[in-house]
A and B are shown apart, each in its own frame.
Chain A
Amino acid sequence: MVTAARVASGDSDGREHFRVELPTDLSQVGVVVEAVVSCCQTVASVSTRTEFRLCTMVAEAVANAMVNGNRNDPARRVTVDIEFEHDRIIIAVSDEGEGFDPAAVPDPTHDAVLDSTRGRGLFMIRSLADHVAFNDRGNTIWMTLTRC
């Protein structure tokens, strides 16, 4: 069973921080999603709509981290950090890969690539999150949701 471990709890600023770490194993993506959603439900009682967004975004980001970041190498790990800050939930997903340039990812809704079987992940995350950011190296993505 995978659960999110508490990393920090701030009494003064109201921040709560949890973490899930796992080796690269695509069979565990759904399990990680369940752990993250369970954590969010416990701490923030999120709505059905927010839960859908969380599930999709986390599944997407963790799969991207394992496949594109860690190149399916089981020796490399993926870390999911969940921070609760006032009215926001911030999910950070990090891998141990070389990183990528998010600006170089093409729009998957263009007619020429619409029937492609790949390339929609980042677009979906950007569409579902209220804010998306990356570190300079491109191996950590931060996805922010406003609680509702």
Chain B
Amino acid sequence: MAFSANRDAGGVTVVAVEGQLIVANRQDLKQLMQDALDQGERKFLLDFSKTAYIDSSGLGALVSISKKVREAGGDLRLAGLNEDLRSLFELTKLDTLFTISETPSEALAGF
């Protein structure tokens, strides 16, 4: 299972991305997020603590998800990126598009 979603006590939907976010599974994440939006969820944390790598399709899916959450008036935050993944966001300048926290707990405290 690449993605697992839980709702924390503060009403934040926390989605853990395990293994990789690539062309082969990005649609599953987009669908999971769309379903949550359709159910009325508006606060989201994507936890990359257990993510090994992300390809450009995965980054594109994150951009797409971010737009949909924003259009719905929601709040999306990312957390748990290791040094390599953080560098990937920086070199593609996507760190300027997302709210990124060091840890999931830090991100949750920011909602």
Contact = CB atoms under 8 A, between A and B. Distances in A.
A74 interface: no
A56 interface: yes
A114 interface: yes
A56 B67 contact: no
Interface string A41-61: 000000001001101100110
Interface residues of A, number: 28
B55 interface: yes
Interface string A26-38: 1111100100000
Given A30-B20, A30-B22, A56 B93 contact: no
B79 to A, nearest CB: 18
A60 B55 CA distance: 6
B96 A56 contact: no
B23 A56 contact: no
A56 B54 contact: yes
Interface stretch (B6-14, B34-42, B57-65, B101-109): B57-65
A134 B50 CA distance: 34
Contacts of A123: 56, 92
Instruction: Give 3 nearest A-B pairs by CB, closest first.
Output: A117-B60, A120-B56, A121-B56
